[in-house]
Structure 1
Amino acid sequence: MERRAHPSRLEPPPPRHLGRLVEERRARQAEERRSAERDVSALSEMDAVAPPPVPDWMVDGERRRGRGALSNAAGRFEPQAREAFDDGWQSLDDLPPFRTSVTVEKPRTIINRNDSPDVGFDRSINPYRGCEHGCVYCFARPTHAYQGLSAGLDFETRLFAKPDAPELLAKELSKPGYEPRTIALGINTDAYQPIEREWRLTRRILEVLSDFGHPVGIVTKSALVLRDLDILAPMAERGLAKVALSVTSLDPKLARIMEPRAATPPRRLDTIRRLSEAGVPTAVLVAPVIPAVTDAEMERILDAAVAAGASEAGYVMLRVPLEIRDLFREWLLAHFPDRYRHVLSLLKELHGGREYDSTFGQRMTGSGPYAWTMARRFEIAVERLGLNRRHTRLTTRHFSRPPRKGEQLSLFGEEA
């Protein structure tokens, strides 16, 4: 049987002044929240970094699987901009994934010249335009705009090959007025990117350089360079070849989202080891150093490279000219949203308040306290590990123009 409390035993209602106190406490809490929001807003206004971008042209993940860029905005020279738009009929579901295509390019010359004081060479060869490695930070991406293409996914998928490159090179080296100096191979885009397996242009270029006794320096992220050890090792014995491997991170997961189709960090270190064992002078490039993302790994990368046999080292800070700025922002926001503002703040500190400064002497290393710290860290690590004590200088004393087919030599070894 249910027992009911006697009316005299019920608790009396709370005094009216207690309800007023509760309301006042809630009002104070609401005012404190509004004050905190105003403080956060003021801090955001003081922050020099722009708010995160919201790209309307972001490409669906399935269509860009295995690629570095997240979008494919029109090139900067194009009069019109196009973007995918869902009209409600699920038409975007029918769009095919981005696949690699190669177009033949027919240049008139193959040796590129430059007068930049920031690099140690004045000539280079790029057998390919565009790069399937898909490194999101690649400084060469904006060059695709000259083809009417995007610096985004087009740069990684719509490639150009120069099949006449070896013949053009032999023709230029054979000119009477040509003066030999070290040629840098694959500087703008990687000469050992995946399509080299089929096109073999880099190998044929090395064969020409070997025949002429011409020095060459190679920078790559690919283990495919080991395929050409039969050419590189004899050239190295004559002081004609050296190779640098770019290592951005030792973290395979991070490397995969930054450089989706480049060799994994362990394979790059193994490539350094095998090149060194074969007698090819080998260097490591900690490049690029991304503030608050890969900068903590500088010493570990140098340690691992020395253990693998590297004798020289260098580093380059992140550069984001032209379209790369927006591509990098998209990538950073997608993969490291918690570090977005911090990374861009450090990037601006490197370049005097801007995200990029193209001034010679500044663009590769930056300036300011953060740049100074990275430079000192590199110098201390290099000194501790014994790197850069001797720089391999390639020689031009073996350079000679081999006789052309059907050309007869004189009895004294001179061209008739």
Structure 2
Amino acid sequence: MEDANKPRAPIKGRGAASYVHGRYAVTTTEGTDDGWGSVYEDSDDTPRPRTTVTEERARSIVSHNDSPDIGFAASVNPYRGCEHGCVYCFARPSHAYLDLSPGLDFETKLFAKTNAAERLRSELARPSYRCTPIALGINTDAYQPIERRYRITRQCLEVLAETKHPLSFITKSALIERDLDLLAAMARERLVSVYFSITTLDNHLAAKMEPRASAPHAKLRAMKALADASVPVGVMAAPMIPMINDRELEHILEAAYEHGARAAGYVLLRLPHELKQIWREWLELHYPDRAAHVMSLVQQMRGGKDYDSAFGKRMRGEGPFAQLLQQRFAKAYARIGFGRLPPLDSSRFTPPRPLSPQGELF
């Protein structure tokens, strides 16, 4: 008997295909096919999921981590959820903390921290604050589409520029070009670096995997614009997925270098928590002929499981296929001529004056 809860077709403009239940959900719902048509059947009368944005006031904005395989210790996330809809996004399970679906809710029910710049200024002004480079927009992209309207990332960037605080970006969006005036000025003082995450150079594949992120050619164009303005730029070929995009690894690195990237990295597909189900649904809808083979290779790189979260393994995997990928990357990295981006300078940081109800008297 056919499963009535299984999606029958992708949803245009969305990465996830269903409302996968979060692991903390108290109540869940199930669709049942009563014989009058599938609960997932698409028609002109069935509205597609619309994006909604909830404005919220953050109590704190700078997050800290001590993970040994992550290259930053502090981060700021202006938004929760991400409209880019990348089906492979490791951050999707974070929506479960809100009692929302890591599936469609993650890319349609977004939260904007409208006081982020205010909180950032306040936290940087604390006497106990110690400057370390901030990664701006890590859990979700700081330059996702709603940033055009809310400009929260721009406001945070202005605070960091004013205080000469170093920062870095990883983004999938060409919208970062909008802030080139601030980025170029900060780059002259070694205060900023930018990595572009490029998963594929194939527009058709990108439209399936990351439907509302910038197209591959737009990312490369933005990369060149930043590099031409002397902003240090790198590329993350991520995630690498066996039998889906792994064959593009060298081509991504070559294209990025031609457009100004001078550092590079890669990350293997990660499937924590609910992302396992979301990814399997996507595979069955888009590549049913190879879905089992893809997951077999993924499990071979994860000790027989869909995912291994152990530090040192979660980014690179293990086994012959993972080793081959690592060797290919190392050879391409050396052949193309990649190196390291200049280190960021924390010595220039000047704490902002705390906001005072009396204003500035002197």
TM-score, structure 2 normalization: 0.94
Distance 1:132 1:90 in 2: 29
Q: Which has the bigger relative contact order, CA under 8 A and spacing at least 6? A: 2
Cα deviations across residues 244-286 of structure 1 (Å, max 9, x unaligned)? 0000011100011000000111111111111100110000000
Question: What is the RMSD of the two structures over their aligned residues, measured on CA atoms?
Answer: 1.7
Distance 1:314 1:56 in 2: 41
Q: Residue 120 of structure 2: SS of its match in structure 1?
A: helix
Cα deviations across residues 308-328 of structure 1 (Å, max 9, x unaligned)? 110000000000111111111
Distance 2:38 2:254 in 1: 51
> Which residue in the other structure is 1:151 paired with?
102
Distance 1:90 1:378 in 2: 48
Within-5 A mapping of 1:101-250: 101-250=52-201
> Which residue in the other structure is 1:395 paired with?
345
Q: 2:254 aligns with which of 303, 308, 333?
A: 303
> Which residue in the other structure is 2:31 paired with?
84
Distance 2:336 2:49 in 1: 44
| AA at the equivalent of 1:85 | T
Distance 1:277 1:71 in 2: 42
Q: 1:283 aligns with which of 231, 234, 246?
A: 234
Q: Residue 381 of structure 1: SS of its match in structure 2?
A: helix
Asked if the contact 2:122–2:354 (Cα under 8 Å) also holds between the matched residues in 1, the reply is no
Asked if the contact 1:111–1:124 (Cα under 8 Å) also holds between the matched residues in 2, the reply is yes
Asked if the contact 2:194–2:231 (Cα under 8 Å) also holds between the matched residues in 1, the reply is yes
Report how far residue 349 of structure 1 moved: 1.0
Q: 2:5 aligns with which of 57, 73, 76?
A: 57
| AA at the equivalent of 1:188 | N
Asked if the contact 2:121–2:354 (Cα under 8 Å) also holds between the matched residues in 1, the reply is no
> Which residue in the other structure is 1:17 paired with?
none
Within-5 A mapping of 1:256-267: 256-267=207-218
Same amino acid, percent of matched pairs: 52
More displaced stretch, 138-147 vs 81-90: 81-90
Report how far residue 104 of structure 1 moved: 1.6
Distance 2:279 2:36 in 1: 32
Report how far residue 90 of structure 1 moved: 6.2
Report how far residue 55 of structure 1 moved: 5.9
Report how far residue 91 of structure 1 moved: 9.8
Q: Residue 104 of structure 1: SS of its match in structure 2?
A: strand
| AA at the equivalent of 2:66 | D
> Which residue in the other structure is 2:22 paired with?
75
Q: Residue 167 of structure 1: SS of its match in structure 2?
A: helix
| AA at the equivalent of 1:293 | I
Q: Does 1:365 align with 2:316?
A: yes
Distance 2:200 2:354 in 1: 46
Asked if the contact 1:241–1:280 (Cα under 8 Å) also holds between the matched residues in 2, the reply is yes
Report how far residue 79 of structure 1 moved: 2.8
Distance 2:333 2:37 in 1: 56
Report how far residue 80 of structure 1 moved: 2.6
Moved over 4 A (4+): 59-62, 88-95
Change over 3 Å in CA distance of 1:329–1:89 after alignment to 2: closer
Asked if the contact 2:124–2:352 (Cα under 8 Å) also holds between the matched residues in 1, the reply is no
Q: Residue 166 of structure 1: SS of its match in structure 2?
A: helix
Asked if the contact 1:311–1:387 (Cα under 8 Å) also holds between the matched residues in 2, the reply is yes
| AA at the equivalent of 2:182 | I
Report how far residue 407 of structure 1 moved: 3.8
Q: Which of these two proteins has the greater Rg computed from alpha carbons?
A: 1
Asked if the contact 2:93–2:275 (Cα under 8 Å) also holds between the matched residues in 1, the reply is yes
Distance 1:132 1:57 in 2: 24
Q: 1:270 aligns with which of 198, 210, 221?
A: 221
Distance 2:297 2:210 in 1: 22
Distance 1:200 1:95 in 2: 32
> Please, which runs of 5 or more residues in structure 1 have no aligned partner?
1-53, 410-416
Report how far residue 107 of structure 1 moved: 2.1
* Equivalent residue pairs, number: 354
Report how far residue 290 of structure 1 moved: 0.6
More displaced stretch, 107-116 vs 87-96: 87-96
Select the structure that is richer in helix. Answer: 1
Asked if the contact 1:365–1:371 (Cα under 8 Å) also holds between the matched residues in 2, the reply is yes
Report how far residue 87 of structure 1 moved: 3.5
Asked if the contact 2:133–2:166 (Cα under 8 Å) also holds between the matched residues in 1, the reply is yes
| AA at the equivalent of 2:141 | D
Change over 3 Å in CA distance of 1:84–1:181 after alignment to 2: same
Asked if the contact 1:209–1:215 (Cα under 8 Å) also holds between the matched residues in 2, the reply is yes
Asked if the contact 1:193–1:262 (Cα under 8 Å) also holds between the matched residues in 2, the reply is yes
Within-5 A mapping of 1:9-20: none
Asked if the contact 2:193–2:341 (Cα under 8 Å) also holds between the matched residues in 1, the reply is no
